[in-house]
Structure 1
Amino acid sequence: MTTYVYLSLIPEALIASMLPPDDFGLYYAIGSAKRSRGQAIFFSVDRNKLSGDDFPLANVDTRCVAHSDGRPKSSLYLSIYRVLERVPREALTALHLATDDGRVLTVEPKQFVPDGEDRAHLYQEFCPVTPRIVSHLNPAEFAEFITRAERDVHVPRIAFAELTLGNLKNDPDHHDIDNLPYPNIGHLRDCLRELSKAPHKASKTVLRQMTQEVLFRTIRNGVFVGDPTGISAFPLPSRDALEREYRAWWRSAQSTFGH
């Protein structure tokens, strides 16, 4: 039986499993006696591109084995500390987003192409830090900025998503917020106003850490993993494709309101 390796972002962990992505997402989201129910964000990892010096890979297949009653091994934790920075970006073969009822959307990496819009961006960082940020920078620029070693405050690699700002992306004072589901819209407007008045300011913190689950329906154009060498992009399907081809996942994502 195949042994899969996954990189979970929330919480950060490298996990071996006998479950394929859809089944692992169901297990990881629905939970067990050891884990409460909640959404999951994880990557499939090509373990042939991992270093045996960083992770205990030599005996994975002998440790990740079926239970005595034949049930597949659901999870074997390989590492829980500073995992993202030690997994090469090229080892991330797919992104999986599991809703809190266990429905999984799988997204493959594509070359990042800036949309060319001059607008504000709203980023939710997932790992290794979790602030919510507004920025002038597009995803590739933001990843390079936050991982730049010359900066006093930086991380070696960052995983994050761009969230929708609706009508606020160009006008912080727009009267129609189009049902944006974020807490404290007034504070978000203030941050966007401050950013718009400081064109040389790269970013402004909206929330210091995640206070609830990220609503998948608010992800604007995908999830990104970036470092000084570049960016890996995992763009979500278009709204039309979500409604037509991934309807079950999309309906589940729309029905989630966070905690």
Structure 2
Amino acid sequence: MTVHLYFSLIPEALIASNLPPEKFGQYYSTGSGYKSKGQSLFFEVAPDFRNDYFDIETAIERCVPAADGTPKHSVYISVYRVLEHLPISALGKLYLTTAYGHTLGLDRGVLTPERDSVLHLYQDLSPTNSLVVSNLDPVTFYESVTTSPTKFIRFPALCFVELELDELATDPENGQANNLPYSFMHHLREALMVLEPRSGDKPSTKDSKMVHRVHSLEFPYRMIKKGFYIGNGADLVFYPMFNHRELRDNYNQWWRSANI
């Protein structure tokens, strides 16, 4: 039986499984008997990927169906420092599974650097799970904590998603936030007000501010602004999210499941 390799973000782990992506997502989010519920996000990893840091061959040997033919759901290969040992070239589709087991696959898109003048909200997914506001665009934000760190904080690799701020992106003090489901609105406004949107060559005294040092990795899928970013060293790629209309029209079952 085929052995798939998956890089999970909730939690960070490299996993071998006999299950194809959709069934793996269902199992990972709901359990084998639908007894638990929770979002899961994971990348499919190239089956020929190997790195001496991981004992992948042994995991594959153990990833065999049961005597009755039941596929092996999961063999954990590593739960520590996974992303930094994964080249971006080994990553395939990104899958988003709802707490009810419906899975949506995202393809890698074109990364277009943007230099905007709005504020951003970033949820770090791996190797840390901090929630950060910033006046840096996604590419510059990634560089500021990896290849060209502006502070003492530095990561060898990083995966993160940008979340919606609505009017707070341009007016954190008075902007309307009626559509934002965050439970920490007052703290979020205060953090955003410390920053200034970048405009032209005007210098900024502070470009990023921590909202939560350790934040839940689960977030409303409907709040994804543009998509997911994952990089290792100088290699950064982008997985664009479908807009709400596309999700309603073409992936209605997933969309309804994501918003229950």
TM > 0.5 between the two?
yes
Q: Distance in 2 between matches of 1:23 and 1:32?
A: 10
How many aligned residue pairs are there? 254
Secondary structure at 1:209 match in 2 = coil
Deviation at residue 115 of structure 1 after TM alignment:
4.7
Deviation at residue 142 of structure 1 after TM alignment:
1.0
Q: Distance in 2 between matches of 1:117 and 1:246?
A: 31
- The TM-score normalised by the length of structure 2 is 0.91
Q: Distance in 2 between matches of 1:175 and 1:131?
A: 24
Q: Which amino acid aligns with 2:79?
A: I
Deviation at residue 162 of structure 1 after TM alignment:
0.2
* Structure 2 contact 119–133 (Cα < 8 Å) conserved: yes
Match of 2:176 in 1: 176
Match of 2:116 in 1: 117
Deviation at residue 207 of structure 1 after TM alignment:
1.1
Match of 1:40 in 2: 40
- In the alignment, structure 1 residue 254 sits paired with structure 2 residue 259: yes
Superimposed CA distance per residue, residues 38-69 of structure 1 (whole angstroms, 9 cap, x where no aligned partner): 11011000132332x12112244421110111
Alignment of 1:6-155 (within 5 A): 6-32=6-32, 36-51=36-51, 53-148=52-147, 151-155=151-155
Which structure 1 segments of 5+ residues have no match?
none
Superimposed CA distance per residue, residues 7-53 of structure 1 (whole angstroms, 9 cap, x where no aligned partner): 001111100000000000000000248x84211011000132332x1
Q: Which amino acid aligns with 2:168?
A: L
- The TM-score normalised by the length of structure 1 is 0.92
Change (3 A) 1:58 1:164: same
Name the Cα RMSD after superposition.
2.0
Deviation at residue 244 of structure 1 after TM alignment:
0.6
Q: Distance in 1 between matches of 2:61 and 2:231?
A: 33
Which structure 2 segments of 5+ residues have no match?
198-202
* Structure 2 contact 129–216 (Cα < 8 Å) conserved: no
Q: Distance in 1 between matches of 2:100 and 2:134?
A: 32
Superimposed CA distance per residue, residues 209-229 of structure 1 (whole angstroms, 9 cap, x where no aligned partner): 114621111111111112431
Q: Distance in 1 between matches of 2:145 and 2:27?
A: 33
Match of 2:200 in 1: none
